Each structure stands twice: as C-alpha cells, then as structure tokens.
Amino acid sequence: MDIAFVLYPGMTALDLTGPYEVLAPNPGVRAHFVAATPGPVTCDSGMVITAGSALGDLPRPDVIVVPGGSGWRAALDNETELVAWLAAAYPHATWTTSVCTGSTLLAKAGILTGRPATTHWSVRDVLADLGATVSTERVVIDGDVVTAAGVSAGIDMGLRLAAEVWGEETAQRIQLVLEYDPQPPFDTGSVDSAPPEMVEAVRRLVRG
C-alpha cells in the first residue's frame, strides 16, 4: 500500500505527522513524502521535512493524506501543480484524506463538490464557497474521502482510517501504542467552549 503524505510550504507538521505515526508503521505500507519538487519543505512552525519524491513520481497512490496549515491560502493560490495532481490521482486512490485546512485543497481539486466534509472551524465558510457541504464533526467519512477538523483531529482521522483498512482491533492497538488518551488541561479546544474574544483572535490568526 503506497501512502502519499503531501508536503507544501507553510503546512502544519502535526497535520502530517499525526496520521503518519498511525498509518505508516503498519505491515505492507510504503510511506512517501511527496511535494511539487523533492527536497526540504518548511512547515509553518519552522520544522523542515524532506520530500523524497516529486508528485509526478507517484501518480497513483493507494492513500493520499493532505495536511493543512497557516500556508493554506497561499497553497490555494500557488500550488497549482499539487491541485492538478490531486484531481488526477484521486480517481485511482482507495482513500483520499485531509486534515484541517487541507480540505480546501481537496475542494479546489473538485473532490469535495457537493460532499460532506469538515475542516478547521475558522475556514468553514471558505470550504463551503469551494463547493463542499460543511460538517462540524471532528472526522467525516464520505465514501472514499475522509476529512478531519483542526490539527489534532488528524490522529482521530488516522485511527478511523486504520479501522476501515485493517479492522477495529488493529486501530485500537495503534491507539494504545500511541497512548492516545487526551486529557487537555483547559476547556478551550473547541469553538463552542472557548471565550468569544479568544475565538475571534484565533480566527484572525488562522485567516491571516
């Protein structure tokens, strides 16, 4: 199973590494970091991840994982090769997935038109304008497409996908290996629970 983990400038590392840690270690998986051009790609936090392959080197991956990040708007405008690759690769993939604002790239490629999908809460309107039917769920599975809400939801997405591919028992073992048992110290992880002034500040930050 070839899994394409897509890289582009300004992506968020956890959007990619969360699903990677869930999916990549499984037997038979060949994980590929792909980008428009092979080489180092700088995430929005400054972390550098190296793409070992160009997009064109992997035209028909079995699984596609598209992260989001603060560079989402620039990616929508500038990553034309990536969007074209997504549109071309999607019909051949078994699963196409996104995390956070990565769903806007799937939508730009025409993959989410008229389909339920989720994204980071601050860009739900953008996703709707791109043709998706926006959901507020943390993970949405619609046929062969799986979308996850903001950043940390990528781990949930990976586990849901692992259950679909390898069965629930395997997914549960992965969760235990990762000791994924969230107990956040604050109740501000949702737009519904955070103070309104914090919500607006974060909205401005993400929207640029």
> 5-25 pLDDT, tens per residue?
999 999 999 999 999 999 999
What is the enclosing helix (H) or strand (E) of 141?
strand 139-142
What is the enclosing helix (H) or strand (E) of 105?
helix 102-108
Residue pair 42/28 in contact by the 8 Å Cβ criterion: no
Task: Tell me the whole-structure pTM to 2 decimals.
Answer: 0.96
The residue annotated as part of the active site, out of 100, 105, 106, 153, is: 100
Q: Phi then psi for 129, rounded to 5 degrees?
A: -65, -25
- Parse the chain into domains and list their residue ranges: 2-182
> 170-181 pLDDT, tens per residue?
999 999 999 999
The CATH architecture that domain 2-182 belongs to is: 3-Layer(aba) Sandwich (3.40)
3 state SS of 143? coil
> 101-144 pLDDT, tens per residue?
999 999 999 999 999 999 999 999 999 999 999 999 999 999 99
Secondary structure (DSSP) of 54-65: EGGG-SS-SEEE
Q: For residues 166 and 47, what is the distance between their CA atoms, to the nearest angstrom?
A: 31
Instruction: Please state the separation of Cα 171 from the chain's center in Å.
Output: 18
Catalytic annotation on 43?
no
Q: For residues 99 and 64, what is the distance between their CA atoms, to the nearest angstrom?
A: 11
